[in-house]
Amino acid sequence: MVEGLLVSPAFWLLAFLGVILTGISKSGFAGGAGVVAVPLLALVMPVPLAVFLMLPLLLTMDIKTIHYYRQHTSTAELKKIVPAALAGIAAGGLLLGRLPVEMLKLLLGGLSVVFALWHRLAPRLGQMKGAAWLWGGISGLTSTLIHAGGPPINIYLIARQLPKLTWLASAGVFFGVMNTVKVFPYLMTGRWTLQLLALSLALLPLALLGTWLGRWIQGKIPEQQFVLYCRLLLLVSGLLLIAQVVTDQD
C-alpha cells in the first residue's frame, strides 16, 4: 500500500493540502479545522492508515505550537481538561477497530455544526456542570479514533471566552499531551510500520510550513474576529465529517 502511495500524484496533492491546512489550523486557530487531513487522505488510502500516518505530523505541529505560545498557557484550564482527555484516550484505545467510526463522525459533525451556528449555546456549555470532563473526554475519544479532537475541545474553549493567545497556547499543550499519550495504544495495534513512519517523515517539512503559516496568519487577525473564525472552522470541520460519511456510503 505504501509503495503505491509513493508514486501516486493524487496522494501527494491531498497530503500537501491536508498537512498544510492542519498545520495552519493547529498554530493559527487552535485546531479548529484539524479534522481536514484524515478525510482528504481517506480518498486515496484506508482511514486507519491515514490516522497512523498523521500522528507523527500532529506531534510535530503540537511541539511547534507550544514553542510559539507556551508563555500564554492557562494551567488552570489544562488541569480541568487533560485528565478528562486521558480517560477519553483510554476508552478510544479499547475501542480502536471496534466502534462504528461512521456513527462517531455523524454525531461529532452534527454537534459541531449546531454549535457553530447557534452562538447562544456557548454560555450554557461553558457554565454547565462537568463541561470540562464532557468535552475533554469526548476530545480524547475522537482524537484517538479519527484525529478529530479539535471540534469537541473548541466547543469548550469557545464557551470559556479565553484570550486568543491563551486559547492557542492551552490548546497546543492539550493536543501535545493527547498525541503523545496516543502513541502507546497505536503501537499496541501493530499497524504502525516503518514504511508508514518513513512516509510521515517525508511529509514533515509540510507540517513545519503549515504551523509557521498558522502563526503568521493569526498575527494578522484582530482579537475580536478570532472566535468568529474559529466558529467558521468548527462549522467546516463538522460538515467535512458528515460529508465523509455520506461519501463513504455512496
Q: What is the pTM of this model?
A: 0.81
123-177 confidence digits (pLDDT tens): 677 678 888 999 999 999 888 887 778 878 888 888 888 888 998 999 999 999 9
What is the domain extent for residue 83?
2-249
CA–CA separation, 43 and 196 (whole Å): 17
Residue closest to 234 by CA, chosen among 136, 139, 147, 109:
109
Q: Which amino acid does the sequence have at 106?
A: L
236 pLDDT tier (thresholds 50, 70, 90): confident
- Number of domains into which the chain is organized: 1
Residue closest to 58 by CA, chosen among 207, 182, 186, 203:
207
Q: Is the dihedral of CA 34, 137, 46, 106 positive or negative?
A: negative
63-120 confidence digits (pLDDT tens): 999 999 999 999 999 999 999 999 999 998 888 767 677 777 787 778 778 777 776 7
Q: What percent of the chain has pLDDT over 90?
A: 30
